[in-house]
Amino acid sequence: MTAQALAAVALATALTPAVAAAVEYRTLDVDGIQIFYREAGNPDAPTVLLLHGFPASSQMYAGLIDALADQYHLIAPDYPGAGQTVIGKGVAFTPTFDNLASVMTRFVELKGLKRFALYMQDFGGPVGMRMASQHPGWISALIVQNANSYDAGLSDGIRHNISATSAGVNARTRPMLEGILSTEGVQFMYRTGLRQPQRVAPEGWTNALWGLQNPVNRNIQMGLLANYQSNLDLYPAWQTYLRDQQPPTLVVWGKNDPLFTAAGALAYGKDVKKADIHLLDTGHFALDEETPAIAAHMRRFLAGLPAAK
């Protein structure tokens, strides 16, 4: 075997968990909302909080958790209105991104997390950037995967949808919102831009569609879509946070995303001087095709962070 081949084997071995760590499926009562979450890895290891996108749930991180739990402590919650999380009877939850971030902030506090890397995808961006900018001391690093914080990253289609639905959920906007939540709309988000669609299992979008059959979840997701303009209004504040705090930032972005374009990935480099940016040949849900590559980037990136004080 050549020296080059031996080096390749050694690298593959180093990036492959020897034994898959057990994943636990738990719930945490957050002010009457039973937040479902996945947790794996040694709690004494560096923690990564995984915030999922729309219309997904923590299920989108199952493969990544398996790939990294030998070395890291991973926690992936479901938001109110997503996955297995249940809002208690009589508990009012108004579907805004401010409220999502408040619930996730309370989740972090109740879990006793003091410092962690924050992985953000899609809706995870506006939730996570609110948390990071309000609690910068919590954040050891940012991992950004098709989570937009810049006007440059908005496709024409998503700009139109945000503008057209910003008046809220009403008789005029509901047909458009229902179209986004339809089978065709969900599959568009999951399948557009895939490099090898025949190799991507359908569980991602079928699980998302299952979650949207719940009327409570469906109404929350429509409300959040109609509230999306609130995120654009905060882009300048998030960019200020990035410039001022310079959090170590890894960007792993599906460059064929029809919603958040590659320009949104590159824009992080304008504000974070040492941003580590990688454009991957896939779509919006990049983990569906690129879990091994993203896991390898994360191991390298996280291993290079300063030791916790």
The CATH number assigned to the domain holding 174 equals 3.40.50.1820
The pLDDT, as a whole number, for residue 21 is 75
Report if residue 254 sits inside a domain: yes
For 181-214, write each residue's pLDDT tens digit: 999 999 999 999 999 999 999 999 999 999 999 9
For 107-130, write each residue's pLDDT tens digit: 999 999 999 999 999 999 999 999
Catalytic residue among 52, 73, 284, 297: 284
pLDDT > 80? residue 22: yes
Report if residue 9 sits inside a domain: no
DSSP H or E segment with residue 107: helix 97-111
Distances (CA, A) of 122 to 11, 50, 137, 172, 283: 31, 12, 23, 25, 12
CB distance 81 to 209 below 8 Å: no
- Structure tokens of 280? 């991957």
pLDDT > 70? residue 225: yes
Report if residue 25 sits inside a domain: yes
**For all residues of the chain together, what is the average pLDDT?**
93
The rounded radius of gyration (Å) of the Cα atoms in the chain is: 19
Residue with tokens 């940012």: 142
Average pLDDT over residues 35-58: 97
Does 284 participate in catalysis according to the annotation?
yes
Residues 6+ apart with CB under 8 A from 156: none
The rounded distance, in Å, linking the Cα atoms of 66 and 20 is 6
- Could you tell me the residue range of the domain that residue 98 belongs to? 19-303
Least confident of 12-21, 49-58, 97-106, 257-266: 12-21
Q: How many CA atoms lie within 13 A of 148 on its CB side?
A: 25
For 242-294, write each residue's pLDDT tens digit: 999 999 999 999 999 999 999 999 999 999 999 999 999 999 999 999 999 99
Report if residue 1 sits inside a domain: no
Residue 10's pLDDT band, with cuts at 50, 70 and 90, is: very low
Residue 19's pLDDT band, with cuts at 50, 70 and 90, is: low
Report if residue 5 sits inside a domain: no
Residue among 34, 32, 73, 36 nearest 57 (CA) = 36
pLDDT > 80? residue 221: yes
User: Does pTM surpass 0.85?
Assistant: yes
Report if residue 10 sits inside a domain: no
Residues 6+ apart with CB under 8 A from 37: 25, 26, 27, 28, 58, 75, 76, 77, 78, 107
Distances (CA, A) of 228 to 145, 163, 221, 267: 18, 9, 11, 20
Domain count, the chain: 1
The pLDDT, as a whole number, for residue 309 is 52
Report if residue 13 sits inside a domain: no
Report if residue 294 sits inside a domain: yes
